[in-house]
Amino acid sequence: MTTIQAYRFALDLTPGQERDMLAHAGAARVAHNWALAKVKAVMGQRAAERSYSVPDELLTPSLSWSLAGLRKAWNAAKPEVAPWWGEVSKEAFNTGLDALARGLKTWADSRTGKRAGRPSGFPRFKSRRRTTPSVRFTTGAIRVEPDRMHVVLPRLGRLKLHESARKLARRLEAGTARIMSATVRRDGGRWHVSFTVEVERAERAPAQPGSVVGVDVGIKHLAVLSTGELVDNPRHLAGAQQQMRALGRALSRKTGPDGRTGQRPSKRWQRAAARLGRAHARVANLRRDGLHKLTTRLAREHGTVVVEDLNVTGMLANHRLARHIADAGFAEIRRQLAYKTTWNGGRLLVADRWYPSSKTCSGCGAVKTKLALSEREYACAACGLILDRDRNAALNLAALAAQFDTAGSGPVAGRGADQKTRVRGQVAVKRQPGTASAGQTGTVPPQGRTTNRVLTKAH
């Protein structure tokens, strides 16, 4: 199985190497801003000419928004715009132009309806102070040294790693991996290099191929499994909140930048901002480490993992819980499970966001019309079952796997779930490409429980 995988390593740079990194990131920013100004100037000129009823054939020639078109315009203007262009790698300018080309395409697709989701704004100019320094290399000498503690990048030369790259080096030496690109980025005061690698992964199987686990994520417990296991929520952001407040107050007492007057930040302000940035980076690293360990364990142990399609954006509108929801990383759990289950030979089933997993009784299938968030125990009026509401939801999610398998050979012509919770209905299952009757929707009579639900298989 061939997949695209990333390997990320921290770097230990000398002061001279860090200056070279910033020079490359600055070159990417210069190319991006110049090309964006050129695009806006051409758009404004053509709009002005149209207002004077100038025929289309006589308008100022348009500028191609593709990477090739922007690169051609930049190469013609770089001797005048950036006479120092030979001091950095060409990949630095390509990084900025590629980011602009993708941003313009996203904006155009969003306006024409080709892109789903929130409307995307027009690209903005990159600030030297607020933009995260980053540069991407796709050509030239990109390799891991035999000692596995150094990497080589174009124009930047030999860079020391903070940790061993043995995992990537072993695959490269065995011929089961090929480096496609390398991205250098400063994050939380430390430089990292990320390799995008095409990896030939061996076929694997979960430890329990027939095992099904429902995962109900929450704030009190990060995850409640249908097996009865409770995964504690470490609340990394809440634990570091007192320290961050102190660092934020210390930062506010320093002389910071002011765009209106052109005031530059003081050295003390820069050091205080760096300390606050490192505190935020530490929280992000702790959260990332915990989520990776949880999702890896679930994907390796169970053949089928069932989660909910949560409306995280809507949940963040609750200002009382927004910080805790963002700290938990609900969307990241689902994203990691999507590819890790594929790597380990399992499958991920995603229940529709309107499926009433918490309102449904896992014993008899009765559905409550309302269930307040403050009710932490589910008490069924039909069968008398009393159970923790999160455990009850996890059991209902696990039960959906059997109905997905049953509906896989059912008749076609079903109806999806809607926002209204119903006591009686039908089970709709959406099959994805790769299964029999790909792309069709089948309807299956309820078995044991009568609720409206939709399952989508995520790859």
Q: Which whole number is the average pLDDT over 99-122?
A: 93
CA distance 400 to 393: 11
From 303, 343, 349, 300, select the one nearest 210 (Cα to Cα): 303
Active-site residue flag, 390:
yes
CA distance 100 to 125: 10
* pLDDT at position 318: 86
* pLDDT at position 270: 92
**Which is more confidently placed, 318 or 136?**
136
Residue 368 confidence class, pLDDT cut points 50, 70, 90: confident
* pLDDT at position 403: 79
* pLDDT at position 383: 86
Phi and psi of 120, rounded to 5°?
-100, 135
Distances (CA, A) of 280 to 147, 174, 241: 32, 38, 10
Give 220-254 pLDDT, tens digit per residue.
Answer: 899 999 998 999 999 999 999 999 999 999 999 99
From 91, 187, 352, 390, active-site residue? 390
What sign has the CA pseudo-torsion 170, 172, 175, 180?
A: positive
Q: Which whole number is the average pLDDT over 199-204?
A: 91
3-state DSSP percent of the chain in helix, strand and coil, to 5 = 40, 25, 35
Give 407-458 pLDDT, tens digit per residue.
Answer: 553 322 223 444 555 544 334 334 333 333 333 323 333 333 333 333 444 4
Give 42-59 pLDDT, tens digit per residue.
Answer: 999 999 999 998 998 889
Residues 6+ apart with CB under 8 A from 414: 426, 428, 429, 441, 442, 443, 444
Give 122-136 pLDDT, tens digit per residue.
Answer: 999 999 888 999 999
- pLDDT beyond 80 at 276: yes
Residue 92 confidence class, pLDDT cut points 50, 70, 90: very high
> What is the residue-averaged pLDDT of the chain?
86
Active-site residue flag, 56:
no
Across-strand partners of 451? none
HSE value, Cβ hemisphere, 13 Å, CA-based, for 399: 23
From 187, 308, 327, 352, active-site residue? 308
This prediction has a pTM of 0.81
Number of residues written out for the chain: 459
- pLDDT beyond 60 at 15: yes
Active-site residue flag, 258:
no
From 216, 327, 388, 418, active-site residue? 216
